[in-house]
Amino acid sequence: MKINHLTAAEENLMKLFWKLDSFYLKDAMDRHPEPKPHQNTVSTYLKILTEKGFLSTEKEGRIFKYTVIIPFAEYRKFLLKELCHHFFDNSGKEVLEVLLDENLISKNDFADYLDLKIELKPAKNKQPDYEFANEILKTKKK
Which of 112, 95, 115, 93 shows the shortest CA–CA distance to 104? 95
Helix (H) or strand (E) holding 55: strand 55-60
pLDDT at site 79: 94
Sorted by where each begins, the domain ranges of the chain are: 8-68, 72-117
In tens digits, what is the pLDDT along the chain, a chain of 142 residues? 688 899 999 999 999 999 999 999 999 999 999 999 999 999 999 999 999 999 999 999 999 999 999 999 999 999 999 999 999 998 888 988 898 889 898 888 888 888 766 666 666 777 666 776 677 777 665 5
Whether domain 8-68 has CATH 1.10.10.10: the reply is yes
pLDDT at site 110: 82
